[in-house]
């Protein structure tokens, strides 16, 4: 059951990223073509693309974490005994979990405080754009917890035939 939910979460997360990136690329491409062929550009294109990039960054961070795509220095835990390495990885896991929880709560407060502001060109509530922060941090926490056991015991990340750590870092 948990494996099914985990596969669904990863697939949904990846497809949302793919759709957002395609839409963002399409909007920017169309805007550039219009600017150079007609001299006019789409008023809202730059703003919407920027907001999509914010969502892509926060939604993609969890997948990058899951597959080992974030910057990591692992020399120390590879140089010590297996038991000590597991203790160190457990501390890293606890620290990351605490940070993600703190940031999810703090950014939720930020979203709440900006609920009455809106963007200039599209009149989208700013809180909708900033909602990427708590959603992203919660997703990072979920992805971290799903790989926690393997990470602590073996120092390894999730594996996929479709994506590796270096590719995850480029998401």
Does this model's pTM top 0.85? My answer is yes
Q: What is the CA radius of gyration of the chain?
A: 19
Domain count, the chain: 1
Parent domain of 121? 2-169
Residue 120 has phi, psi (to 5 degrees) of: -70, -50
DSSP assignments along 97-138, one per residue: HHHHHHHHHHHHHHHHHTTT-B-TTT--BHHHHHTHHHHHHH
CB 121 within 8 A of CB 47: yes
User: Poorest-confidence range of 16-20, 49-53, 129-133, 144-148?
Assistant: 144-148
Please say whether the beta carbons of 68 and 165 come within 8 A.
yes
pLDDT digits (tens, 9 = 90+) for 75-128: 787 788 889 989 998 999 999 999 999 999 999 999 999 999 999 889 999 999
């Amino acid at each position: 059951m948990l494996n099914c939910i985990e596969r669904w979460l990863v697939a949904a997360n990846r497809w949302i990223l793919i759709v957002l990136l395609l839409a963002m690329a399409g909007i920017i491409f169309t805007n550039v073509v219009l600017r150079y062929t007609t001299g006019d550009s789409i008023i809202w294109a730059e703003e919407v693309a920027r907001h999509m990039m914010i969502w892509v960054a926060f939604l993609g961070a969890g997948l990058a974490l899951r597959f080992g795509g974030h910057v990591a220095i692992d020399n120390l835990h590879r140089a010590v005994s297996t038991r000590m390495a597991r203790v160190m990885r457990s501390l890293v896991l606890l620290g990351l979990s605490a940070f993600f929880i703190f940031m999810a709560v703090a950014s939720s407060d930020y979203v709440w405080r900006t609920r009455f502001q809106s963007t200039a060109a599209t009149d989208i509530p700013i809180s909708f754009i900033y909602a990427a922060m708590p959603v992203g941090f919660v997703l990072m926490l979920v992805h971290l917890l799903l790989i926690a056991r393997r990470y602590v015991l073996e120092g390894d990340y999730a594996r996929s035939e479709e994506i590796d750590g270096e590719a995850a870092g480029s998401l």
